[in-house]
Structure 1
Amino acid sequence: MEDLSILNITDQLRILKDHVSERTKNTNQLATHLAKSHSERQKLKNEIIANVELIHKNYEPHMPRHSTPLTEEKRSVKGSLTPFLGENVISEKDIPKLEEWPTFSGEG
């Protein structure tokens, strides 16, 4: 009778060992996959940063800056439009309120 229980325990230990071995293998595979994913993400991130830096380096001198002051030429053009605008500038009171806009039923 004792031999049967020892055999049973041995089988259970073998099953448990196989189960732990399988879990360890799965965990190692997952860790490898995550490391590769992290490495690939880091590589892509570095490529994106390099591309953005290259774009800034190559195109920034050609891009207008928002903080540049108006040149004298731009000021004169802006000033020369004033006589054409005159009283014809649309004000807020000229725009109808949303309630006043016509509604359409959608029937053709």
Structure 2
Amino acid sequence: MNCIPSCEILLPEIGKARIYSKMDICKSPGVLTIGIDNSEKNSVSFFDAGPLQHYRKIGSDSWPLQLEVNFRNIDKDRYYADACIKTLRKGKTTCFMHGYIDSAVDNVCGNRKLF
């Protein structure tokens, strides 16, 4: 089992970026951690489960990016997450996360360092 899943996405005009994610259900509410590694800048962001859409400025001064995350608790053992990166100079959005997360995954993986 890959306890810190990752994927590679293509950001318009910037190039490849590697995305890492981890969920901590021991926190209340649960916390989703998303790490982004690209040639411009690396970043790690934390999101509490809740009803709000989160917006975080990431990236560099030359290529500003906006991380957009919707992370919420559906019921006792399930969460839902949508996540996208918007290239602010071009207005293009690249999504990489969309779906349900079972909290049992966190129990199997335990706490591991993201970066």
Q: For this structure pair, what is the TM-score category when the shorter chain's length is used for normalisation?
A: under 0.3
Q: Which has the larger radius of gyration?
A: 1
Using CA pairs below 8 Å that are at least 6 residues apart, which structure has the higher relative contact order?
2
TM-score w.r.t. length of structure 1: 0.14
More helix by share: 1
- TM-score calculated relative to the size of structure 2: 0.13
